[in-house]
Structure 1
Amino acid sequence: MKHGTRIACTAALLLTLTAAPAATAADAGPTHVDGQLPSGATYMMDVPTTWNGTVLLFSHGYNAGPANPAQDAPDAATKTLLLQQGYALIGSSYATTGWAVTDAVPDQMATLEAFTTRFGQASRTLAWGRSYGGLVTTAIAERHPDAIDGSLSMCGLVHGGVANWNNTLDPVFALKTLLGSDVPLVNLPSQQAATDAANTLTAKVDSAQSTTEGRARIALAAALHNIPVWNATTQTRPAATDWDAQQANQYDAVKGLLKIAAFNRRQEAEARAGGNMSWNTGIDYARLLGKSSVRKEVTELYKKAGLSLTKDLAALNRAPRIKANQNAVSWMSSTSSFTGKLAKPQLSIHTIGDPLVPVQTESALRRAVTAAGSGPLLRQAYVDNAGHCTFSTAEQLAALHTLEDRLTTGHWQGTDPASLNARATAADPTTPTRYVSYRPTPYLRPYDLAHPADRR
């Protein structure tokens, strides 16, 4: 395929290309290249001796820094098998860490340009990434469709930036209101202030976990983020009606949300956006709970605690609301939200027990893509495992090969769980194959550029 779109950075501007020593005939292996772009981002490339003509452009996940290495594959085991199968692997570090989409997309495209300059035009180019890199991959798919043939998002933030930060606000708003705290949730002036706020609210959560009333309220907060009841591979999968075990698992995930995303990552994103980019003005929390995937658990725990769920929801709806800075919303919307318009096929896969980027983000992606008229180009598949991005090598290879088949044949085939599992086993019989039939519930706070009414 001839790619018409090219980043303005030309090959002449690319810096510091250093290749590994040439292999001898006896130890012939991939050519490894490290380089640096004019933006300051580094990149890496691994090209097998017998290249099959396909290049995989990998976008890595959120990196808080300060270390900022380039990555060209999700993990070492998957990388090894892909190189053995003849794929060229490339990827950049992004020029900055954090919510770096304004750097990540051009840096990834410049890395692809550098690869083409050095190794020649690929016969097929696939963009893929996981977690935050799924957002970067989807942005590439929407903004640079002429540069790629297809895309694969794995456990991605495919709901976009505004939706992400709105949905991250809701559980901490519930915890602050119901557990009694004056901790600031937005407009955090520094990383230290964010850490202090996270620690303060975490202490409240730890104390609340010791009472039946507190556990019910923590479950309510978890439900407003669609945190699943089995969300880490170290956890025991609870029975369908073991409400206490379900809540105990969510408690761990709620603390993880406070530590990772709700404060420190929010502060970094606010600094980029120029203010608070999320809001809960006009939000009916009773309505949100009614759509949550774990609402039954919340109802049962409130009954056990002798609490009135109706009163707590009313308290949330009466509490002073948080308004967004409209300039910050505009920045986050223009850089990190999606139109849903696809020009090339995209496959999106997700674990059903993801606490950080809940599987319901796939519902938000489907909503946008359907509204934009691109539904036939999208397929989604689900892996029955707990945790964020806990795919096996086999499952990742199966997804890539299924996307390749779509490009070769011109139509989707083998996207059902049985076919995906068979393909995964064939690709790597040493790791699990857990694709299942699954339909996620609605995303609770959708926002995309295909629905203008969401632009508040």
Structure 2
Amino acid sequence: MTRTARSRALGSRPARSRTARQHAVGLAALLLLVAAAPASASATPSPASSPARHLEGTLPSGAAYMIDTPDHWNGTVLLFSHGYRPEGSPNPAVNAPDEPTKQLLLKEGYALVGSSYATTGWSVEQAVPDQLAALDAFTKEVGAARRTLAWGQSLGGLITTTIAERYPGRIDGSLSMCGLVHGGVANWNSTLDATFALRTLLAPGAGDADVRLTGFKDAADAAASAKRLGETLGTAQNSADGRARIALAAALHAIPGWNDPRTPRPAPDDYPAQQANQYTAVRGLVAQPGFAWRAEAERRAGGNMSWNTGVDYSAMLARSSQYKEVKALYKSAGLSLRDDLRALARAPRVSAEPRAVRYMADHAAPSGRLDKPQLTIHTTGDALVPVRTESAYRQAVAEAGRSPLLRQAYTENAGHCTFSPGEQLAAVHTIDHRLTSGSWGDTSPSALNSRAQQADPTTEARYTTFRPGPYPRPFRGQGLFG
């Protein structure tokens, strides 16, 4: 491993007198005698004795890593896993979700570490060992931590959960923020639900020759399909029929009617405004995750990892929190919702390739088998990783008999991972408290908001009482694909 460090420059040293040299020799001999004595727990240096440092380096995989330590380290290191980076994009190491949060954590005495992962894209397989190697680098460069917390956002929330479940001996607790905790199998199935509905309803009669949904030949093939469906989507938004059908596709992906914090929140019954917000999110899904990002993930997995054989879209819509909106928009357009749901039921379905599903299940499908405490937090208005993903993980943890180890909390805000620094510190403090006290204590929204305000009174505290609906699809792949 290589590293660079910013530190204070050493000034010139004055010549030492003979007496000073004798004192130095004596001190060296004394230190040798102390080093030769048997070690004891009380003789272990305190982590707080380490000075503030910024270290960067390269792991054996080629991934970069970054370490920051505060002036007075409290003995806890936070291992941060960053989110998805599209293939070919810059890939620097990071060790915190944003700079304001990073500075607050350092001020409180936390040490920070994180890697870039060796590759961009759907890199869960590579990210987990790289993150563990970054922890090894921290121990080598700084020293052993008294407590290690894994945390991450978006894809990094899935990476964090994978570390928590598969390598519990390396950490003491974990925090997933806006994470894909339903796993890779469910993530790509949910994306397929939306694109399948869009192609079937907006371009009836179109097939893989016109708009390919899975099994892309290459990146150019995915881009061409995204372009054609995107053009169809834009035309559809100009008609009442098209807007109703876009809302139906959005509901199947659980895209909320308020998903951009830069826009006003629509009234509960302002369905046209909600649909306009969903249209923007659906357009983004088609432009990137539904095609370009899927194509990259398929190359890793060795084929298509998604299926909708046997899926009942009528039942899925009936369980959706957007059901009333869809019904109202169809009624306003004079369009038959029943006929469109029948069209979805009759349309040729997509089958998955077993080896690709196995890849996702092996590398990116949480089991719920936690051995250490985990807190998850999610915004209620997330369009990219809809909040109902938390229901999938809650179910998995319950089935594994580990529910006492999991707590979930929600912030009332639109957007993906749009947490304030105070909200993020409140989450860190909550999992830290659980480890220190041995009990979760008060994890109510008011308690979390109080912690957020104490940590940073200059930013928002929006934790709220919320429970997402049930996850509508199987979220683990073994034996479930058609």
With normalisation by structure 2, the TM-score equals 0.89
Query: Does the CA-based 8 Å contact 2:352-2:481 persist in structure 1?
Result: no
The equivalent of 1:17 in structure 2 is 3
- Secondary structure, aligned partner of 1:350: strand
For 1:19-418, what aligned pairs fall within 5 Å after superposition? Answer: 19-22=5-8, 30-64=52-86, 65-180=88-203, 181=206, 182-418=210-446
Pairs aligned (count): 438
CA offsets, 1:368-417, max 9 Å, x none? 00000110000000000000000000000000001111001111112100
Higher radius of gyration, 1 or 2? 2
What do you get for the CA RMSD once the two structures are aligned?
1.5
Query: Does the CA-based 8 Å contact 1:23-1:29 persist in structure 2?
Result: no
2: distance between equivalents of 1:227 and 1:250? 6
Query: Does the CA-based 8 Å contact 1:154-1:350 persist in structure 2?
Result: yes
2: distance between equivalents of 1:23 and 1:371? 57
- Secondary structure, aligned partner of 1:314: helix
- Residue type at the aligned position of 2:413: N
Query: Does the CA-based 8 Å contact 2:93-2:116 persist in structure 1?
Result: yes
- Secondary structure, aligned partner of 1:351: strand
Query: Does the CA-based 8 Å contact 1:163-1:445 persist in structure 2?
Result: yes
2: distance between equivalents of 1:61 and 1:208? 32
Deviation, 1:66, is 2.9
**Structure 2: 5+ residue runs without aligned partners?**
12-49
1: distance between equivalents of 2:217 and 2:8? 50
1: distance between equivalents of 2:190 and 2:451? 35
Deviation, 1:98, is 0.3
- Residue type at the aligned position of 2:330: Y
Deviation, 1:444, is 2.1
1: distance between equivalents of 2:91 and 2:366? 26
Query: Does the CA-based 8 Å contact 1:447-1:455 persist in structure 2?
Result: no
1: distance between equivalents of 2:228 and 2:81? 34
CA offsets, 1:194-242, max 9 Å, x none? 1221111111111001110000000000000000000001121111111
* Identity value in percent: 60
- Residue type at the aligned position of 2:8: A
The equivalent of 2:41 in structure 1 is none
* Further displaced range: 264-273 or 117-126: 117-126
**Structure 1: 5+ residue runs without aligned partners?**
1-14
CA offsets, 1:134-172, max 9 Å, x none? 000000000110000000000000000000000000010
- Secondary structure, aligned partner of 1:33: strand
Query: Does the CA-based 8 Å contact 1:167-1:444 persist in structure 2?
Result: no
Of 431, 434, 457, the residue aligned with 1:429 is 457
- Residue type at the aligned position of 1:18: T
1: distance between equivalents of 2:171 and 2:476? 23
1: distance between equivalents of 2:287 and 2:8? 45
- Secondary structure, aligned partner of 2:234: helix
With normalisation by structure 1, the TM-score equals 0.94
1: distance between equivalents of 2:341 and 2:440? 44
- Secondary structure, aligned partner of 1:379: strand
Q: Which runs of 4+ in 1 moved over 2 A?
A: 21-25, 452-456
Deviation, 1:306, is 0.7
The equivalent of 2:470 in structure 1 is 442
**Structure 1 pair 453/66, CA: closer, same or farther in 2 (3 Å)?**
closer
1: distance between equivalents of 2:312 and 2:323? 15
